[in-house]
């Protein structure tokens, strides 16, 4: 089984800029835990204890939270990403600590635990392979490895940053890859893109394929993506759906009406005659004014005023 996970914490998103002015994207919450912890939990539960977290200059809070509040038996190593972005840049940052098979993933795509386990055990059943991609149909999506063509056995024969259609339809790679150390031999050969100044992971994969390295593929379910405020709301609502009952870590007055599922962090103030739910998450520091009604929403540590009605929203600023 793969025993080393590399997590890319530096994953900026322009569509989330309004939510990331005061914290890095990786620290946005899903029911009281940073999204990066939610991603890493899946690998921890699958048996991994060695984690390398690639951080940018604004992700210091990620290291602090993981050191202080995550699993104490996890071996955590933090490495700077540098000024380049993407998986190839993360591989460059981590090359000195790669000494065996590893999985590398972003912090903004949640996949089922079963798929994580399949990835971690891939090389047990395919010891001759040098890598494996997680693929799914995506006709409207352009990802870091935007287009992939496979041979009849499911091995990659072509990888590109651009979507590739043809008889196989449109297939794209999720940001979940596993490689052996063989990948290191191709890093220094990667060309630098003229426009971006970065290096493309698809080029690295194509170089491996052209060199007769076997890069396999695994079908993956559609992930829970975390690219927009709407995605963050959907991820929290999905997590709320798995709760057996309301989780209230702050005092709530008896006059409040709670409609499950609801999750209230510690350090939340709820006033009289409030209606909360269904599908509500209140982050620590939030204050809900008297007679307010909040449903299908998350409140990110801000104030909701007296009598306000909130539905289908991410509340990032005071609503008075």
Q: Look up residue 181 and give its DSSP letter.
A: G
How far apart are alpha carbons 315 and 134 in whole angstroms? 34
What pLDDT is recorded for position 162? 63
How far apart are alpha carbons 9 and 176 in whole angstroms? 13
SS3 126: coil
Q: Look up residue 319 and give its DSSP letter.
A: B
What pLDDT is recorded for position 147? 74
How far apart are alpha carbons 317 and 86 in whole angstroms? 31
Buried/exposed code over 89-127 (b: 16+ C-beta within 10 A; e: otherwise): bbbbbbeeebeebbbbbbbbbbbeeebbbbbbebbeeee
* Residue range 139-192, pLDDT digits in tens: 555 454 457 889 999 999 988 776 555 444 445 678 899 999 999 999 999 887
- DSSP calls for 75-113: EEEEEE--S--SHHHHHHHHGGG--S-EEEEESSEE--H
The predicted model scores a pTM of: 0.90
What pLDDT is recorded for position 159? 86
How far apart are alpha carbons 310 and 276 in whole angstroms? 10
Which residues contact residue 276 at a Cβ distance below 8 angstroms, ignoring those fewer than 6 apart?
A: 252, 256, 257, 258, 259, 262, 264, 270, 282, 288, 294, 295
Pairing of strands 224-225, 109-110: antiparallel
Which residues contact residue 212 at a Cβ distance below 8 angstroms, ignoring those fewer than 6 apart?
A: none
pLDDT tens for each residue of the chain, 320 residues long: 999 999 999 766 677 888 988 899 999 999 999 999 999 999 999 999 999 999 987 788 999 999 999 999 999 999 997 766 788 889 999 999 999 999 999 998 899 999 999 999 999 999 999 999 998 776 555 454 457 889 999 999 988 776 555 444 445 678 899 999 999 999 999 887 655 556 788 899 999 999 999 999 999 888 888 989 999 999 999 999 999 888 999 999 999 999 999 999 999 999 999 999 999 999 999 999 999 999 999 999 999 999 999 999 999 999 99
What pLDDT is recorded for position 22? 86
Stated as kind and residue range, the H or E segment containing 184 is helix 184-187
* Residue range 165-175, pLDDT digits in tens: 544 444 567 88
Ordered structural domains, the chain, with CATH: 4-221 (3.90.550.10), 241-315 (2.160.10.10)
Query: Phi-psi region for residue 197, left (φ > 0), alpha (ψ -120 to 50) or beta?
Result: left
How far apart are alpha carbons 273 and 259 in whole angstroms? 13
What pLDDT is recorded for position 167? 43
How far apart are alpha carbons 261 and 297 in whole angstroms? 11
Residue of 8, 10, 35 lying closest to 102 (CA atoms): 8
């Amino acid at each position: 089984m793969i025993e080393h996970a590399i997590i890319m914490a530096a994953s900026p998103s322009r569509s989330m800029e309004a939510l990331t002015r005061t914290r890095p994207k990786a620290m946005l919450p899903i029911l009281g835990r940073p999204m990066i912890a939610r991603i890493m939990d899946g690998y921890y539960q699958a048996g991994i204890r060695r984690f390398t977290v690639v951080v940018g200059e604004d992700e210091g809070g990620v290291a602090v939270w993981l050191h202080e509040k995550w699993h104490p038996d996890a071996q955590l190593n933090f490495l700077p990403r540098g000024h380049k972005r993407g998986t190839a840049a993360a591989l460059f940052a981590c090359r000195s600590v790669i000494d065996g098979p590893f999985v590398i993933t972003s912090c903004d795509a949640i996949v089922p635990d079963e798929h994580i386990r399949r990835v971690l055990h891939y090389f047990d059943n395919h010891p001759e392979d040098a890598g494996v991609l997680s693929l799914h149909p995506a006709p409207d999506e352009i990802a870091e490895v935007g287009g992939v063509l496979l041979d009849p056995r499911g091995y990659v024969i072509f990888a590109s940053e651009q979507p590739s259609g043809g008889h196989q339809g449109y297939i794209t790679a999720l940001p979940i890859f596993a490689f052996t150390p063989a990948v290191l031999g191709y890093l220094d050969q990667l060309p630098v893109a003229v426009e971006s100044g970065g290096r493309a992971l698809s080029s690295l994969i194509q170089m491996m394929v052209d060199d007769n390295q076997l890069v396999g593929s695994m079908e993956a379910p559609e992930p829970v993506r975390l690219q927009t405020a709407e995605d963050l709301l959907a991820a929290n609502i999905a997590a709320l759906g798995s709760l057996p009952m309301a989780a209230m870590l702050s005092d709530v007055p008896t006059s409040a009406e709670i409609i499950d599922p609801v999750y209230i962090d510690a350090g939340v103030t709820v006033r009289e005659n409030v209606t909360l739910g269904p599908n509500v998450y209140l982050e620590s520091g939030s204050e809900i004014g008297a007679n307010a009604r909040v449903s299908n929403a998350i409140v990110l540590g801000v104030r909701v005023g007296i009598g306000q009605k909130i539905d289908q929203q991410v509340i990032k600023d005071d609503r008075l």
